[in-house]
């Protein structure tokens, strides 16, 4: 796990880490890059929609192999080992091929891979500066959305870095609930489109902004499911901990806006750097069709719940993050985020809000080892059955073997 010490001159050069040429420079089919990322932790409590549980646990441990197949293709395989209820689970997060020599800035990726929507999603979770993804990611993308499908992307020949692309996925992990197993889902369930643009700010800084859209053909709940979904128990410790990478709150349309700014003296990341980032999610058209009431003007009416409280016809979430590495071996971060969702309860929807304030302190002995201490204040009484809480997480992330450079 290396951190590039290259000068931040030209965000296009920094973002070239995403390009097909930079995906595999030296490894070949006869000499593949093989690595393992070990993730272990202790956590004082449980967090909504998180894969980490209270106590000691094994986090997102990865086994990866990648190489150029020939001068035309690159391939990568990433398996993930996790613990759930005392049992070891093995999953496949990536298994894809990608073109290396298509003309005109085009490239194609096919197989199982991380979607390129948003800012964090296409990055492996062990590269994060916090122990968990923001609540919006956990709610709407199952922490990080990977799936079986195909992507076509394009890098424009412009002074600014400008890329765009479209993806088609099977969409199993983005399906709305099907309690009785009677629903006929679309085989091609998810379509995405994204664009990202970036540039330099003097000699010390770089920025990138993006817009993404995800169409989920299986995201809306159906009338048959209406009335069957009940909120989990209001005891944060008695509920069943769902260990899944599936999105827990879905809709037909998801819109994402993201922005990141990076600063380092003379563009040298090794000794000191600052990263500011944020993303906003809006998920619409999630209710059963029968729930959409139109007034005489053809506009959808808002429901009211409780004492005149308006129930929105969309779900949303956002976060803002600041991480400062103040020496080669130490970094500190603060992140605030919240998510507003709708929980079906009988014949109506109850609004839910979760707020998270997180502070982390990390020690990096080298590019391959990180020990992190994190404090999380979560406020969301009865959000998915969890109470307000203060949680301490102690985590280590260690990399064995060759590992590619991280993305911008």
d(CA 36, CA 1): 10
β-bridge pairing 273-284 and 314-327: antiparallel
Per-residue pLDDT band for 26 (boundaries 50, 70, 90) equals low
Identify the residue with better confidence: 47 or 27: 47
Residue 289: predicted pLDDT? 63
Residue that wins the pLDDT comparison between 177 and 255: 255
Number of Cβ atoms within 10 Å of the Cβ of 263: 19
User: Which residues are 175's β-sheet partners?
Assistant: none
Q: Report, as an integer, the average pLDDT of 312-336.
A: 95
Please check whether the domain covering 11-401 is classified as CATH 3.40.30.10: no
What per-residue confidence (pLDDT) applies to 238? 42
Determine the pLDDT at residue 346.
66
| Confidence at residue 31, expressed as pLDDT on a 0 to 100 scale | 76
| Least-confidence region, from 46-60, 292-306, 330-344, 353-367 | 292-306
Find out whether 75 and 109 touch, Cβ atoms under 8 Å: no
Pick the closest to residue 48 from 395, 381, 286 (CA basis).
381
Task: State what percent of residues in the chain have pLDDT above 90.
Answer: 58
pLDDT for the residue numbered 133 = 96
Q: Give the pLDDT score at 160.
A: 94
Residues in the chain: 408
The pLDDT score that the predictor gives to residue 241 is: 43
* 284: β partners: 253, 314
Average pLDDT over residues 55-70: 92
Going by C-beta distance under 8 Å and a sequence separation of 6 or more, which residues neighbour residue 347?
Answer: 226, 227
Return the SS3 of 143: coil
* pLDDT number for residue 89: 82
Most confident of 208-212, 247-251, 287-291: 208-212
More confident residue, 162 or 386: 162
Q: Residue 78 in contact with residue 60, Cβ under 8 Å? A: no
| DSSP β-ladder status, 309-311 and 314-327 | unpaired
* pLDDT (0 to 100) of residue 382: 73
pLDDT of residue 298: 42
Q: Please name which of 295, 165, 299, 317 lies closest in space to residue 248, comparing C-alpha atoms.
A: 317
> Two tokens at 350?
């109850």
Which pLDDT value is given to residue 69? 92
Q: Is the four-CA dihedral 110, 187, 258, 165 of positive or negative sign?
A: positive
Give burial (CB, 10 Å; 0-12/13-18/19+) of 235: exposed
Chain centroid, CA 103 distance in Å: 30
More confident residue, 185 or 397: 397
- The CA-atom distances, in angstroms, between 187 and each of 161, 175, 247, 360 are 34, 11, 17, 41
Report the C-alpha gap between 121 and 114 in whole angstroms: 7
Percent of the chain with pLDDT over 70: 78
Token pair in block for residue 273: 């750097």
- Give the model's pLDDT for residue 42: 96
What's the pLDDT score for residue 158?
94
Tokens of 380: 């969301």
Q: Per mean pLDDT, which of 53-57, 345-349, 381-385, 403-407 is the most reliable?
A: 53-57
* pTM for the model: 0.84
The mean-pLDDT minimum among 161-165, 282-286, 293-297, 331-335 falls in 293-297
The pLDDT value recorded for residue 310 is 62
Contact 309, 351 (CB under 8 A): yes
Burial per residue of 357-377, b for 16 or more beta-carbon CB atoms within 10 angstroms, e otherwise: ebebebebeebbebebebebe
How far apart (Å, rounded) are the C-alpha atoms in residues 212 and 152?
A: 14
Tokens of 18: 């995403």
Poorest-pLDDT segment among 116-125, 143-152, 304-313, 384-393: 304-313
pLDDT of 272 reads: 93
Residue 153 in this model has a pLDDT that exceeds 80: yes
- In angstroms, rounded to a whole number, what is the distance separating the alpha carbons of residues 122 and 114? 5
């Amino acid at each position: 796990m290396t951190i590039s010490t290259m000068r931040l001159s030209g965000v296009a050069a920094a973002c070239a880490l995403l390009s097909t040429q930079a995906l595999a420079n030296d490894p070949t089919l006869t000499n593949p890059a093989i690595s393992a990322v070990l993730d272990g932790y202790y956590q004082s409590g449980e967090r909504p929609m998180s894969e980490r549980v209270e106590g000691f646990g094994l986090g997102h441990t990865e086994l990866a192999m990648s190489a150029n197949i020939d001068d035309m293709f690159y391939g990568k395989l990433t398996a993930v080992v996790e613990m759930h209820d005392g049992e070891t689970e093995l999953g496949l997060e990536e298994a894809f091929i990608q073109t290396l020599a298509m003309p005109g800035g085009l490239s194609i990726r096919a197989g199982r891979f991380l979607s390129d929507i948003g800012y964090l999603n296409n990055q492996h979770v062990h590269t994060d500066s916090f122990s968990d993804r923001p609540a919006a990611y956990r709610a709407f993308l199952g922490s990080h959305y990977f799936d079986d499908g195909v992507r076509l992307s394009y890098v424009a020949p412009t002074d600014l870095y400008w890329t765009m692309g479209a993806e088609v996925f099977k969409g199993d992990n983005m399906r709305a609930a099907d309690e009785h197993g009677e629903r006929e889902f679309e085989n091609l369930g998810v379509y995405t489109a994204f664009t990202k643009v970036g540039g330099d700010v003097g000699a010390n800084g770089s920025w990138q902004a993006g817009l993404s859209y995800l169409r989920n053909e299986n995201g809306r709940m159906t009338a048959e499911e209406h009335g069957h979904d009940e909120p989990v128990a209001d005891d944060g410790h008695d509920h069943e901990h769902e260990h899944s990478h599936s999105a827990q709150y879905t809709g037909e349309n998801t819109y994402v806006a993201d922005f990141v700014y990076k600063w380092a003296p003379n563009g040298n990341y090794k000794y000191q750097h600052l990263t500011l980032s944020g993303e906003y999610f809006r998920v619409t058209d999630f209710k059963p069709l029968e729930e959409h009431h139109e007034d005489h003007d053809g506009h959808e009416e808002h429901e009211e719940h409780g004492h005149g409280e308006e129930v929105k016809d969309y779900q949303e979430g956002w976060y803002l993050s600041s991480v400062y590495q103040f020496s080669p071996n130490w970094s500190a971060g603060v992140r605030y985020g919240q998510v507003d969702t709708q929980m079906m309860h009988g014949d109506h929807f109850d609004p839910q809000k979760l707020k998270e304030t997180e502070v982390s302190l990390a020690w990096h002995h080298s590019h391959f080892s990180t020990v992190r201490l994190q404090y999380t204040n979560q406020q969301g009484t009865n959000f998915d059955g969890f109470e307000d809480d203060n949680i301490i997480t102690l985590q280590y992330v260690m990399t064995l073997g060759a590992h590619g450079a991280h993305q911008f």
